Amino acid sequence: MTMPKTVPVSVDAMLEDLRTLVETESPSRERDALSNSAKVVAAVIESRLGGQAVLVESEAGPHVHWSAGGDPKVLVLGHHDTVFPLGTLERRPFAVADGRATGPGVFDMLGGLVQAVHGLAALDDRSGVEILVTADEEVGSHTSRSLIEERALACGAVLVFEGAADGGALKTGRKGCGTFQVAITGRASHAGLEPEAGVNALVEAAYQVLDIAALGRPELGTTVTPTVASAGTLDNVVPAGATVIVDVRVESADETERVESAFAALSPHLAGARIEVQGSIGRPPMPESASTSLFALARRLLPHLEGKAVGGGSDGNFTAALGVPTLDGLGAVGGGAHADHEYLLVDAMTERANLVTELVRAIQHA
């Protein structure tokens, strides 16, 4: 089985829709912007695929759900929220030059959404296909997780249109990931007159950072990385409070349990200090076994495709953890996710859209 030689999609049409989505700013947690973005995403889907895209309201913003009808067979999964604050577009407008499309969100993951929609539009029969585009993936998918899991279980196969790995590789595995916040309470005192009367939360935080960093097990794929810290109020006051935020990535359920237990067991080094820990590993690991069947199908269509396990998480982590076959990284080929140099390779758009067409067709007839 190989990809057809005909090109059923228009690059110009894809770039037109990409411009429309990029120029509709959609930062996570900006409820009004996300409401507008959801309407625009729905309009793009409806204009290319027909039918009606339903807006599913949530506290985070509207999720967009479209179904072609028939027995559910495949869920096309993505998100329309981005990490870029309002106003980024003015500084970094959408542009196409030298074979690259640039602008906030082109790679993560508006380009993938566009390729998915145009690939589906090339199908004569779209029965059994559903699209779910969520509003809160970049901030943990707290309001969309149950809907993602419901539709994934109903469909039985999930294609995730996050940006590709390096070189256009598909993402066949992902680490579980989460964020912990360690709040430290000490006692303020005058730093010059009676420092001994205080309990220095900053010093306690320094101890905790070392303890936390030691929880990593790189040989097992576990990284535990303190990323943000704050403490104190004035330069002549012993700090009464401090906060440490920690990024955690794991490859197995055993490591999830070990790390979460270790955070719960953190204890102070200084007499009088108190520690409170919040957080968890919210996205379970996506084992490579979850993508085996779908990746093999993709490789039969495009033999040069490579697969790669990556450290970042996506909503595919949730669906894979349910045992639903899941293939990720089907979106844009490019790079610079979450950065000012984010870009999409225009020449790769047709091949990726064609892959959507043939991959979905194969799943429909499996």
Give me 104's structure tokens: 């906030």
Predicted structure pTM score: 0.91
Mean pLDDT per 10-residue section of the chain, whose length is 366 residues:
60 98 98 98 98 98 98 98 98 98 98 98 97 97 98 98 97 97 98 97 98 98 97 98 98 96 98 98 96 98 96 96 98 97 98 97 94
At 227 the pLDDT is 97
State the SS3 of the chain: CCCCCCCCCCHHHHHHHHHHHHCCCCECCCHHHHHHHHHHHHHHHHHHHCCCEEEECCCCCCEEEEECCCCCCEEEEEECCECCCCCHHHHCCCEEECCEEECCCHHHHHHHHHHHHHHHHCCCCCCCEEEEEECCHHHCCCCCHHHHHHHHHHHCCEEECCCCCHHHCEEEEECEEEEEEEEEECECCECCCCHHHCECHHHHHHHHHHHHHCCCEHHHCEEEEEEEEEECCCCCECCCEEEEEEEEEECCHHHHHHHHHHHHCCCCCCCCCEEEEEEEEEECCECHHHHHHHHHHHHHHCCCCCEEEECCCCCHHHHHHCCCCEEECCCCCEECCCCCCCEEEHHHHHHHHHHHHHHHHHHHCC
At 366 the pLDDT is 85
At 2 the pLDDT is 56
Residue 147: burial class (beta carbons within 10 Å; 0-12, 13-18, 19+): middle
